[in-house]
Structure 1
Amino acid sequence: MLRTLSLLALTALSLGAQSPATTGTIVIAHGGDSTWNAGVRAIAAQAQTGGPVEVSFLMGPGAATTRFQDAVAKLDAKGVSRIVIVPMLVSSHSGHYEQIRYLAGQDVRLDETMEHHLHMAGIERTASRTPLVLTPALDNAHEMARVLADRALALVQGQGDVPANRGLMIVGHGPNSAEDYAAWMGNLRPVADSVKAWTGFRDVRLELVRDDAPVAVRAEGVTRTRELIEMQRLITGRDAIVVPVLVSKGLVSRDKLPRDIAGTPSVYAGEPLLPHSAMARWVERRVREATTTAVTSR
């Protein structure tokens, strides 16, 4: 009897050792130059999801070598029972999120531009033997608020000042359409409220420059941003702290936003959301929530 139990225990241990992690994850992002992409890769490597993690980019030099269908194939080969797709995007209300919905097999009709972007990188839908579960983007994530709070505090402390004396301006990329703009702002306003509560800045404002929108629309977003910074100067008597709500460091954070706010009474360092450990925690939470939903919906 003892010999039989011992054999059963050894068999169970052996099977457990051979069993792969049940959930694979694809962290998928817009993509940019090597510096931009490095931030995404670093966070994906930090995320403790309980299973293998692949990275995929929609655009840029890394897109053709990290194609979505190849990431799926790699996870399929590892025998995972589900694949959770985590979009490393600020908002679920964007053309790039629609691209990811399309790749995940949802009933989406892409516009010509979004379809062309995928085609140019050789990215396409794939038939996976494993269920694909798509999560929301960052949207109103508390982890994003934590990163923005830390960026703002580091900047104001670097000025030898305290938040109670300053205004904080949070500036994002933003979408093109008025409807999507309203959805972005609806998600980001509670994020800004959390940042204010955690940091104690005297005044916290939020605006989107709508970087890909028609010239006149973008110009109005920039004008509005500049006006809010000027208003914060009037309120506090000090230069405003400006923090971008952008995923990684690239053209917008390094070049465009500095030009947009040049000449305003502001202090800007351009540090984006990545890299910050809270973003790895966000990936883990998205996977955990998706896995729980998949289990409870059976």
Structure 2
Amino acid sequence: MKLQTRNLTHILTSLLLVLCAVSTTAAQDTGVLILAHGGSEEWNDLIHEAAEPLKANHKVEVAFGMANYVSMHHGLKALEEQGVSKIAVVQLFISSYSPIIEQNAYLLGKRDSLPETPMPLMHHVDEYKEMMGIEEEETAGHHGGGHRFYMPKNLQPIPLEAEVVLTPALDDHPVVAEILNKRIQELSSDPANETVLMVAHGPNSEENNKKWIDTMESLSQKIQSTQADNGTPYKQIFALTVRDDAPEPVFEQAKANLRTLVRQAGQNGEVIVVPLFLSSGGREQAVAQRLEGLDFEWSGKTLLPDPLITDFIQKSVKAGFAEMN
């Protein structure tokens, strides 16, 4: 009997070691590529800091840019060169309703065509041409806003050896609602008497803008539900986009709508304005500048820095690999 017990113990121990080895190998076999807009050194550092904890279990790379072929290519190849065969691509963008998200999907082979309005290369233009063997100077490009825009004539998906899963943008994820409510609470003293304006950048197209607003209103409902559970909801929450990159008449109308809403809400209570931007880089401060001369509470704090963004990345990776398996 003792011999049988020793043999059983030996078998179980061996099995446990094998399972641990398989688990370790599986973790080493997985990679994470984080996509984000990119900005100043401080902006980019906040993304790297949010991604750092994932390195305990996965190889991690970050690709900055708006669906930039070169930065995405480098990030994916860096992971493949480290022996990664499965990659979760996490999109740290505010909304899924954008040509950036559509082009990300195309470049990763998850969509058959480019978006109706493709995203040009704003960085790494010469490197792209060298990668593709383009010698002649194509005319599909221009300079603007300090950037050199270049739209390849025949942009193709990135060649991949690893299996890739693409996870959704931030959208109305509960983590986003929780962070936004923290930002609001820092400015709040009497919720029942406060109108909150949640303000995001927004897209150019009317169709996508409606979807942005719908998603933001979903965030508003989550925030109000939390407030109700904890005592007092806010008087009301409005969702708006400033549409900085839209044609001037659209931009001016968005600006007028924002000012009008702040002015009217302020006649019957306090007004809190919170930016729905990923990281601090100047764009969010333009919201406050647009409201010059009006009374409202404002901190300018964006989603980052906040450890909950790391939670979002981790949850996205877990869901992505579960979908893949």
Output the TM-score relative to the length of structure 1.
Answer: 0.85
**SS of match in other structure, 2:83:** coil
Contact 2:99 2:117 in 1 (8 A): no
Contact 2:103 2:114 in 1 (8 A): no
Is residue 2:59 matched to residue 1:34?
no
Give the length in aligned residue pairs.
Answer: 284
Distance 2:61 2:75 in 1: 6
- Cα distance, 1:122 vs structure 2: 4.2
Q: Give 1:153's aligned amino acid.
A: Q
Q: Could you give the per-residue CA deviations for residues 242-294 of structure 1, whole angstroms, max 9, x where no partner exists?
A: 1000011012113x112111112212111111111111111111111111111
Contact 1:20 1:78 in 2 (8 A): no
Specify the alignment match of 1:87 in structure 2. Answer: 91
C-alpha distance 7-180 of structure 1, shift in aligned 2 (>3 A): closer
Cα RMSD of the aligned pairs, angstroms, is 2.8
Distance 1:207 1:52 in 2: 38
- Cα distance, 1:71 vs structure 2: 1.3
Specify the alignment match of 1:276 in structure 2. Answer: 306
From 112, 121, 145, the equivalent of 1:116 is 121
Output the TM-score relative to the length of structure 2.
Answer: 0.78
Specify the alignment match of 2:82 in structure 1. Answer: 78
Q: Which runs of 5 or more structure 1 residues have no equivalent in the other structure?
A: none
- Cα distance, 1:86 vs structure 2: 0.8
Specify the alignment match of 2:51 in structure 1. Answer: 44
Specify the alignment match of 1:183 in structure 2. Answer: 211
C-alpha distance 192-223 of structure 1, shift in aligned 2 (>3 A): same
- Cα distance, 1:175 vs structure 2: 0.4
Is residue 2:277 matched to residue 1:213?
no
C-alpha distance 6-257 of structure 1, shift in aligned 2 (>3 A): closer
Contact 1:20 1:79 in 2 (8 A): no
Is residue 2:200 matched to residue 1:194?
no
Specify the alignment match of 1:96 in structure 2. Answer: 100
Q: Give 2:221's aligned amino acid.
A: D
From 225, 228, 250, the equivalent of 2:261 is 228
Distance 1:97 1:118 in 2: 18
Specify the alignment match of 2:30 in structure 1. Answer: 23
Distance 1:187 1:49 in 2: 33
Q: Could you give the per-residue CA deviations for residues 156-195 of structure 1, whole angstroms, max 9, x where no partner exists?
A: 2xxxx23223111110000001000111111111101112
**SS of match in other structure, 2:187:** helix
Contact 1:98 1:110 in 2 (8 A): yes
Q: Give 1:178's aligned amino acid.
A: E
Distance 2:272 2:75 in 1: 39
Contact 1:245 1:273 in 2 (8 A): yes
Contact 1:49 1:287 in 2 (8 A): no
From 172, 177, 181, the equivalent of 1:145 is 177
Identity of aligned residues (%): 27
Contact 1:81 1:131 in 2 (8 A): yes
C-alpha distance 260-47 of structure 1, shift in aligned 2 (>3 A): farther
Contact 1:48 1:284 in 2 (8 A): no
Distance 2:296 2:313 in 1: 32
Distance 1:197 1:14 in 2: 42
Distance 2:312 2:278 in 1: 13
Distance 1:184 1:292 in 2: 27
Of 85-94 and 112-121, deviating more is 112-121
Specify the alignment match of 1:253 in structure 2. Answer: 284
Distance 1:121 1:286 in 2: 33
